Chains A and B, each alone.
Chain A
Amino acid sequence: MSILIKNGRVIDPKNNVDAILDILVVNGKIADLNKNLDPKKAKQIIDASKKIVMPGIIDLQLNLREPGNQYKSTLESEMKAANAGGVTSMVCPPDTTPILDEPGLVKMLKNKSEVLKRGNVYPLGALTQKLNGKLLTEINDLYDSGCIGFSQAEKPIQDTEVLYRSFQYLSTFNLKAFLRAEDAYLSEKGIINAGEISTRLGLKGIQSISETTAINKILEIARLTKTKVHLNKISTADGLNLIKIAKKNGIDVTCDVSIHQIFLTDNDIGFFNTNCFLKPPLRKESDRLKIIESIVDGTIDAICSDHSPVNEDNKLKPFAESEHGASSVELLMPMIFKLSEEYKIDLSLLIDKITYQPANILEINKGNLSVNSDADICIFDPSYLWEVNSKTLISEGKNTPFMHQNFIGKVSSTIFNGNIVFIAQ
């Protein structure tokens, strides 16, 4: 099997490449990357002129909803959606049904996803049993069965002693914690950002102090126990300030933001639009602008889709009773492109945050187009105009705050392991 991708604008942040080049893929590997490669070398040719050719996207937060929640979506439907979004590697959190706290479940998920041949699935194991925040899981066994790190998903550990001991234990084996910083007490029953909008709508607010107290606690324990920590889906300006200082002080911490926080604020909730019910909640405009600034200055290492398909019935409820989450993996790259265009940010810097930086965070050799590396490639058409609607989205989840909006730019083909797994119709 060999593919030649001709005349694309190749952006490979790791290797500092941004040029019109050809890429030759042979036997699942990148065989050559150069100008004017001979078309006779490949059985299949993809004309990528006027398109962007980049490493396959590594999404640090993608809810596949398996095992257990197949009424929302299936592993196959969401891996197809991921491919349509240019994603070839995905990290999935442990809050499935049952919770990923046993090696057997992790192996099953890994096996099921491998059969589909649509991407690498990197499960996060539950840090505590049933995510109860009390007792540790068999962390080494989970690691051996394929967990790339350990997480509490949306269930922050309340007990500081448990947090401390779990970090000590992870650090013993040089394993990484992937946590969303939220104080369980301060955010209890909270629905949206605490501010004028929550006051107007009469919905319980979540203050930024809920995120900052948790960040402070996590970073202090990480510093003392020398634990590697990745903070997932940071939402506040105050939180980003703390992380910036921690990085300066040499704490081994990285962080990401979800694509929604870059373009939306609590104002978008309007009159109770449940598609804007997200965790963490959409914040203020000043937080949003700080997030964009922190992407550019490097405080934010990566951008994730936080893809969370939700069954339509669970959005057809009063706001606080509906289910949080948005279907977003197919919008990740279009929104990255929009961010680059609207805020004049170097596209290569942004692509770095969804390819090479996530690979670094996961400590895997992926997210680049070096010769001999795995041929995971995303080809993006930056001039394709399309509308987000239930027909254009492949995911089973049709819930998105961007429903019926137009985007410029869409992934046109995705290659995983040297095989074409997605071609736009």
Chain B
Amino acid sequence: MFNPQLNEKGNLNHLLSIEGLSKEKILQILDTAESFLKIGERDVKKVPILRGKTVCNVFFENSTRTRTTFEIAAKRLSADVINLNVATSSQSKGETILDTINNLIAMNADIFVVRHSSSGAAHFIASHVKPNIHIINAGDGNHSHPTQGLLDAFTIRKYKTNFNNLKVAIVGDILHSRVARSNIHALNILGVPEIRVIAPKTLLPYEVEKLGVHVFHDIDKGLKDVDVIMMLRVQNERMDGVMLPSQEEYFKTYGLNQSRLNLAKKEAIVMHPGPMNRGVEIDSAVADSEQSVILPQVTFGIAVRMSVMAILAGQYS
């Protein structure tokens, strides 16, 4: 089966996953985002790129932060924005995903931002809509969260300029993380020479090393001399079960505190996709430290999402 995010000319028609994107395509998105970053600092935070277009946020899974940043991004591009919390409406009435989407297409929406708890949901939708409709995956199951991967790459480039001399560590629940998967693919495509994943065996997916990462179970060894530390949120429901015995033990064995941060390079940056669990995966002092770039990530996220929407819509405008 083909990757439906590229059209026959090789242009981006949907953004479904980082996997399958070329380095040039990713850099184009990052460069375009760079030009949008300044708009957020202006008094009038709007450009007319998507004027007359309708962006529909369809969230089959609850989310506040991601949905809000997509909404702000679309509004700054002058699009009309509709938010649909499907998790609490038609799905519970038994409507299929495809029927929900087709109804919205009938209302003439142009771009759909979709989040769904099932891996592959965005691919599925994209392969069943007309070519003038664009799908942006805002997270599908454990599979992919491409705009997060892009904004993380954007953040790293802001602070580190080059990708090809970096050591990056991703720490936490890799198994259930679409963010980790997207970051692993993005960093590999961008030429990061050493990507490490740090987690207990229970939170690592099968054959993860085949994605191009080095596996560490000991966080102290894994953080040694890294330039970038990407922390992952550990879902509360994973605690007190068969994956992890308790929050306390997790923080003790894998939590990022100052002494562990000191093992990394002096100018290493600390990232987190949010929302954070202070005292579970990250110590408050580290989260608020000068090395933390967690809040800039959020700001950059808007520029990156503006960039993705502009590039997708641009092809047919």
A199 at the interface (CB under 8 A from B): yes
Task: State the main secondary structure of chain A at its contact with B.
Answer: loop
- Which residues of chain A come closer than 8 Å to B208, judged between CB atoms? 199
- Which residues of chain A come closer than 8 Å to B128, judged between CB atoms? 316
Taking residues whose C-beta sits less than 8 angstroms from the other chain, chain B's interface range is: 20 to 34
Inter-chain contact A320/B206, CB cutoff 8 Å:
no
Inter-chain contact B1/A202, CB cutoff 8 Å:
no
- Which residues of chain B come closer than 8 Å to A318, judged between CB atoms? 97, 116, 118-121, 124, 140-141
| CA gap between A319 and B2 in the complex, in Å | 15
B142 at the interface (CB under 8 A from A): yes
Inter-chain contact A271/B210, CB cutoff 8 Å:
no
Inter-chain contact B140/A198, CB cutoff 8 Å:
no
Taking residues whose C-beta sits less than 8 angstroms from the other chain, chain A's interface range is: 20 to 34
Task: State the main secondary structure of chain B at its contact with A.
Answer: loop
Residue of A nearest to B116 (CB): A318
Given contacts A200-B181, A316-B128, A321 and B205 within 8 Å (CB-CB): no
| CA gap between A313 and B128 in the complex, in Å | 13
From A194, A201, A272, A313, contact of B124 by CB (8 A): A272
Residue of A nearest to B181 (CB): A202
B96 at the interface (CB under 8 A from A): yes
A270 at the interface (CB under 8 A from B): yes
| CA gap between A34 and B116 in the complex, in Å | 65
- Which residues of chain B come closer than 8 Å to A199, judged between CB atoms? 181, 205-208, 210-211
Produce 1/0 per residue, B7-19, CB < 8 A to A: 0000000000001
B3 at the interface (CB under 8 A from A): yes
Instruction: Give A258-299 interface residues, CB cut-off 8 Å to B.
Output: 270-273
- Which residues of chain B come closer than 8 Å to A200, judged between CB atoms? 19, 181, 211
Residue of A nearest to B176 (CB): A202
- Which residues of chain B come closer than 8 Å to A320, judged between CB atoms? 118-120, 141
| CA gap between A199 and B182 in the complex, in Å | 12
| CA gap between A35 and B108 in the complex, in Å | 72
Inter-chain contact B120/A271, CB cutoff 8 Å:
yes
Residues of A within 8 A of B (CB): 194-196, 198-205, 207, 270-273, 313, 316-321
New contact pairs (12) apart from A195-B207, A198-B205, A201-B143, CB-CB < 8 Å: A195-B206, A199-B208, A202-B141, A202-B143, A271-B1, A272-B1, A316-B124, A317-B124, A318-B116, A318-B119, A319-B120, A321-B118
Residues of B within 8 A of A (CB): 1-4, 19, 96-98, 116, 118-121, 123-124, 128, 140-144, 178, 181, 205-208, 210-211
